[in-house]
């Protein structure tokens, strides 16, 4: 086993997972005003907040928005938040884009529809956004590349311009680049027409040393200073991908009644499939053991699979508590991942509170969505490092 002294970056990440807040050696001081659109339970915010803590800056989320009201409560319970909005982000801003792709620009200056909100949010330092990605997902075989949800991507530059934000970070799945309306190129052109500099590209969590292979596309825009190119950020943070066991090895038997340590109640068929993997010392389920729809072959070979201790985890999705939704069977125990294990792999510290009302704890579906849809902290951290690379002029 690698000693902590031989892995300083691993010690840094592990300290974060334990809930320790770093102390800046030369704190910048001041507040960073942030708006987070499509905020979920706060995954992207975790990365930006961690970098702020290391710089000695206090992030304040002046505005967060998500249609999942309970997710916004979880967010606000973990990050200092002033205002929550729980309706469609499209209801916030009035804008029209004249073209798509090259030459795209706003037909008129975007405006927030609520005058009081517009005045309150003017001069926001940073806009974070993770617009719904299901329209771009490879699992959405029917509508991807032509899904109306993809247009939500363009509400983000509209909001950022309307509030005069200095910086903006938009994350999505890499397949967003295949959108038939070219929303990424359109957003880039819009930002540049408004005086922002832009960098964009994909980042993998394992490329920056995190024990998950999840890859996301980021667009980072900044006015006044050019953001640090994402390739340069990747090189700066570049590190070996740590193993699944590095992240969750100490949780091997940490199961129980706590919301985040609950076990999935397996069907008899799925329990038999997990038993087969362990009884035969296998990591992929044989075709005869699979459901009838798989027995003539399947391209989803990781489904019903067992995780490997010495490798990074595959992408954690909302299906992490079901063996039939991916490679989510624990490597040493005959069960699937617990919410706490999945949360660790997504970069949520153990101190993160997913229960906003103890008398009404979240259900399995809510918890799996909040965790599985999140952006791993190191990816948000990397994107924030790109945005902050030119210094923080507004704090």
CA 263, 353, 380 angle in degrees (round to 5)?
100
Inter-CA distances, 289 with 126, 275, 276, Å: 50, 11, 8
37 vs 263: CA distance, rounded Å: 32
Neighbours of 329 (CB within 10 A): 22
How far apart (Å, rounded) are the C-alpha atoms in residues 37 and 159?
9
d(C-alpha 35, C-alpha 40), whole Å: 13
Q: Could you give the CA distance from residue 37 to residue 372 in angstroms, rounded to a whole number?
A: 18
Which are the catalytic amino acids?
133
* Residue 18 DSSP label: T
Q: Alpha-carbon distance 112 to 394, whole Å? A: 22
Indicate the helix (H) or strand (E) that contains 112: strand 111-112
CA angle 384, 169, 175 (to 5 degrees): 115
Distance from C-alpha of 357 to C-alpha of 354, rounded to nearest angstrom? 9
CA-to-CA dists, residue 259 to 328, 368, 370, 371, 393, angstroms: 18, 11, 13, 13, 42
Query: Which residue's structure tokens are 């296998």?
Result: 282
> Which of 367, 354, 350 shows the shortest CA–CA distance to 13?
350
| DSSP codes joined into one string, 140-196 | -TTTTTS-GGGGGGGHHHHHHHHHT-SEEEEEE-GGGGG-TT-HHHHHHHHHHHTTE
CB 244 within 8 A of CB 311: yes
Contact 318, 372 (CB under 8 A): yes
Distances (CA, A) of 60 to 33, 45, 169, 295, 385: 5, 11, 16, 53, 18
Angle, CA 195 vertex, CA 194 and CA 197 arms, to 5° = 120
């Amino acid at each position: 086993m690698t000693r902590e002294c031989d892995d300083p970056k691993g010690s840094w990440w592990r300290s974060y997972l334990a809930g320790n807040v770093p102390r800046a050696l030369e704190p910048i001081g001041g507040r960073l005003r942030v708006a987070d659109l499509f905020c979920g339970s706060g995954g992207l915010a975790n990365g930006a907040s961690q970098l702020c803590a290391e710089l000695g800056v206090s992030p304040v989320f002046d505005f967060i928005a998500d249609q999942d009201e309970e997710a916004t409560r979880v967010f606000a319970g973990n990050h200092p938040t002033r205002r929550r909005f729980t309706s469609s982000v499209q209801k916030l801003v009035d804008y029209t884009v004249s073209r798509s792709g090259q030459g795209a620009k706003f037909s008129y200056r975007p405006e927030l529809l609520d005058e009081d909100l517009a005045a309150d949010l003017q001069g926001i330092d940073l806009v974070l956004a993770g617009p719904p990605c299901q329209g771009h997902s490879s699992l959405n075989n029917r509508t991807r590349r032509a899904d109306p949800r993809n247009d939500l991507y363009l509400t983000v530059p509209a909001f950022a311009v309307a509030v005069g934000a200095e910086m903006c970070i938009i994350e999505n799945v890499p397949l967003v680049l295949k959108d038939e309306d070219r929303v990424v190129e359109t957003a880039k052109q819009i930002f540049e027409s408004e005086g922002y500099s832009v960098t964009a590209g994909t980042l993998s969590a394992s490329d920056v040393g995190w024990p998950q292979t999840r890859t996301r596309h980021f667009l980072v825009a900044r006015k006044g200073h050019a953001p640090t190119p994402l390739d340069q950020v990747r090189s700066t943070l570049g590190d070996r991908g740590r193993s699944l066991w590095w992240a969750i090895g100490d949780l091997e038997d940490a199961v129980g009644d706590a919301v985040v340590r609950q076990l999935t109640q397996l069907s008899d068929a799925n329990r038999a499939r997990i038993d087969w993997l362990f009884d035969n010392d296998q990591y992929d389920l044989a075709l005869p053991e699979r459901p009838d729809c798989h027995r003539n072959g399947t391209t989803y070979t990781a489904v019903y699979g067992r995780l490997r201790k010495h490798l990074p985890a595959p992408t954690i999705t909302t299906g992490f508590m079901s063996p039939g939704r991916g490679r989510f069977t624990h490597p040493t125990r005959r069960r699937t991942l617990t919410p706490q294990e999945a949360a660790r792999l997504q970069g949520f510290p153990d101190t993160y509170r997913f229960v906003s009302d103890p008398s009404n704890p979240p259900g399995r579906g809510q918890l799996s969505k909040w965790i599985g849809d999140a952006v791993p902290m190191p990816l948000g951290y990397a994107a924030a490092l790109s945005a902050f690379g030119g210094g923080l002029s507004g704090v």
